[in-house]
Every structure is written in structure tokens, then in C-alpha cells.
């Protein structure tokens, strides 16, 4: 798809969740459920090592977090305007709906932004829960089934903590962003087991790990900082699980099959970078969404955030050989996005060989 069509603001905004009252969402999934009769544990020693680590790293949302912590959402926003998009500082807002905004509106925008962000974390975590359950079913290796089953439990706890945080500490929920939903739908609907890994463990979780780290650095709220610390420790194992499994599997794929994986990775990255724009917050704030989104795209914070999102994805794609496979198609594309600088950044999650 040519970029000028898919990334046109009108086209981005035309994709919405039409039924926001929907409580259940079904995605057809035609993958094979795989049994293996080869039960020999530890054939893939690094996966076995991750499995052992996961078993002793489980925390309990009920007892390991201080839910008595008082959260003053407005104080959190005021302590760090960068989290709310910098309050328009450094941008020319003349003639836009934002020109009329005073402190009250910017504060509300910051609060809604938190509600939106944590809501998307929650929905993304459910995506991970569903995808990992699918991996348990579809991956043919017993060591991978073992590890994936621990990840199912991890993701259940992640859904649990973000849901509780939203319900008891914040001030409202948002439905899943339509572009995030379409990406999750595509990942779940793909019947090739390795695509679940690439979509979820490498792309979505790589992005989430970067976003969690960014938020944890910026926020002053101690309960959220602790939640993110616990979740990030789990996510690091999950990303490593993806890189280890795919690293082995990709050695057996043909050039054209690898090219499909490159295209899938690139499309997922662009979807999240260019189309995941807090559209729903502007709608709720009653400002013209198209104008707001165009401004957001130019804000200095947005640029930093956008490229930071690639800080795990690019080095992991490099480790998987996806950057240079074929004629270096993905290296070329990531180069155009200006994110190749992350190529040799440490991801630092893999256990020793």
C-alpha cells in the first residue's frame, strides 16, 4: 500500500470502532492445534531456562502492590506536563481550537490522556493473553509450550493490575483504539504460528516495553511506577521468548517467506507509530479531531515518543536477521523512518546461552 494513502489523516480517522457498546469481540482463528509426542524437556535449553526463571518470578497483584496508595491524578499530570503532550509548549497554536485552552482544559487533557493510555495498555495486555494462549496451542515444541503457559499467567496478571488501576485510581475507561484492534485482529487471525510470535512478542510487546519504560521514567506516581516495574520484568522475558523461538524457526524459511515476515513487521510498526494517536481523547474533549491529530503529529514530544517506540523493535528485528534478509528491504524501510540508530541498542533480556 502506498504510504500517502494509508497515512493520510482522513483515512486514519475513518477507521473507528463503530460499535463502542460491544462487550464481546470475536475473531475467526483457523490455526492448527498442535500436539507433540516429543516430551523431552530442555531440547531448547534457552527456552527451558526462561521457563525456570518464569516459574519463580511470578508476583501477586493482590499482595505485592500497595493498593492503599492515594493517587491524585491531577497532581500527577501537573508534576509532568510532558506526559500530556507538553501543553502545546513550543508549538504555534494560533487559530486552532487549542488557542482557547487555558490551564483547566490542558489539565483535563492530561487526565484523559492518562485514562486513554492505561486503557490501551489494558486492551493490549488482553491481546497478549489471547495470543499466548494461542501459542500454547499452536507451537510444536514442548519447551515453547511450557514457557508460553507461564506467559499466559503473566498476561492474566497484567490485565488484572491495569484493570484495577483504571477502576480504582483513574477516572474513566476508553474502548480499544481501532488501529490497535485491527492489528490484534490480524495477529490472532493469522494461521501461521510464528506470525503470532512476530506480531505479539516482537512487535506489540517490544513496543509496550518501550512505552512502559518511557512512562515509568516520567511519572511520579509510586503505585504506577511499581506496577510498571513488575510488568516490565515479565515483558522482558516475553520478548526474549519471541526472539529465541523465531531465531530458530527463521533459519528454515525461504526468501519469500522471510520477505512476508519483513512486510508484516513493517506494517505493524507503521500502524502503531502513525495511526495510534489518542484520536478518542480529542473526540471526548470536543475539539476537531483532524486538526488536533495534525498538531500532535508535529509536537516535539511526539517525535521523541515515536522514535523511542522502536528502541526494542529494531534491535530485535536485527537479531532475527530481518533487517538484512533478501535485499535489505526492512533496513531500507526503517532507514526511511529514521529509526536505524536503535539497531545495536541492548535489549538485554536474553538468558545466557
Q: Which is nearer to Fe ion, 208 or 339 (CB)?
A: 208
d(CA 210, CA 206): 6
Q: How many CB atoms lie within 10 A of CB 189?
A: 13
Q: Any idea which residue has 483532524 for its cell?
A: 290
238 lines the binding site for Fe ion (CB under 5 A): yes
Q: How far is the CB of 158 from Fe ion (least distance, A)?
A: 4
CA distance 74 to 37: 56
Closest to Fe ion by CB, 12 vs 54, is 54
In the complex, what is the shortest distance from the CB of residue 231 to Fe ion, in angstroms, rounded to a whole number?
6
Site string for Fe ion, 81-120 (x = CB under 5 A): ----------------------------------------
Least Å from the CB of residue 61 to Fe ion = 12
Q: Residue from 122, 128, 180, 258 that binds Fe ion (CB under 5 A)?
A: 128
**CB-nearer residue toward Fe ion: 130 or 323:** 130
x/- contact string, 198-217, with Fe ion (CB under 5 A)? Answer: -------x------------
**Segment interacting with Fe ion, rule: CB under 5 A, options 23-31, 74-82, 92-100, 124-132:** 124-132
**Which of 134, 158, 169, 237 is the binder for Fe ion (CB under 5 A)?**
158
Point out which residues bind Fe ion (CB under 5 A): 125, 128, 155, 158, 205, 235, 238
Amino acid at each position: 500500500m502506498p504510504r500517502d494513502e494509508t497515512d493520510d489523516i482522513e483515512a486514519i480517522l475513518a477507521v473507528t470502532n463503530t460499535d463502542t457498546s460491544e462487550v464481546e469481540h470475536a475473531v475467526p482463528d483457523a490455526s492448527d492445534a498442535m500436539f507433540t509426542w516429543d516430551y523431552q524437556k530442555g531440547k531448547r535449553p534457552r527456552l527451558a531456562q526462561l521457563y525456570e526463571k518464569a516459574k519463580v518470578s511470578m508476583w501477586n497483584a493482590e499482595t505485592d502492590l500497595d493498593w492503599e496508595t492515594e493517587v491524585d491524578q491531577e497532581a500527577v499530570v501537573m508534576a509532568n506536563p510532558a506526559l500530556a503532550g507538553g501543553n502545546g509548549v513550543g508549538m504555534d497554536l494560533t487559530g486552532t481550537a487549542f488557542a482557547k485552552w487555558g490551564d483547566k482544559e490542558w489539565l483535563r487533557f492530561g487526565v484523559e490522556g492518562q485514562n486513554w493510555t492505561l486503557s490501551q495498555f489494558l486492551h493490549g495486555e488482553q491481546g497478549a493473553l489471547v495470543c499466548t494462549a494461542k501459542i500454547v496451542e499452536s507451537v510444536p515444541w514442548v519447551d515453547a509450550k511450557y514457557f508460553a503457559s507461564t506467559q499466559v499467567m503473566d498476561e492474566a496478571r497484567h490485565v488484572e493490575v491495569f484493570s484495577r488501576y483504571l477502576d480504582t485510581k483513574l477516572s474513566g475507561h476508553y474502548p480499544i483504539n481501532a488501529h490497535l484492534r485491527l492489528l490484534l485482529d490480524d495477529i490472532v487471525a493469522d494461521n501461521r504460528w510464528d506470525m503470532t510470535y512476530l506480531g505479539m512478542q516482537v512487535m506489540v510487546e517490544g513496543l509496550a516495553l518501550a512505552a512502559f519504560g518511557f512512562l515509568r521514567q516520567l511519572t511520579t506516581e509510586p503505585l504506577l511506577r511499581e506496577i510498571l516495574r513488575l510488568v516490565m520484568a515479565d515483558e522482558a522475558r516475553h520478548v526474549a521468548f519471541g526472539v529465541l523461538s523465531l531465531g530458530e524457526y527463521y533459519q528454515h524459511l525461504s526468501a519469500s517467506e522471510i520477505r512476508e515476515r519483513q512486510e508484516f513487521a513493517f506494517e505493524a510498526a507503521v500502524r502503531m507509530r502513525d495511526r495510534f494517536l489518542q484520536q478518542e481523547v480529542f473526540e471526548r474533549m470536543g475539539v476537531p479531531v483532524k486538526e488536533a491529530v495534525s498538531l500532535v503529529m508535529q509536537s516535539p514530544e511526539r517525535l521523541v515518543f515515536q522514535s523511542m517506540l522502536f528502541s526494542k523493535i529494531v534491535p530485535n528485528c536485527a537479531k532475527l536477521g530481518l533487517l538484512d534478509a533478501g535485499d535489505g528491504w526492512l533496513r531500507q524501510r526503517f532507514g526511511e523512518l529514521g529509526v536505524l540508530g536503535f539497531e545495536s541498542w541492548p535489549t538485554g533480556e536474553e538468558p545466557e546461552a
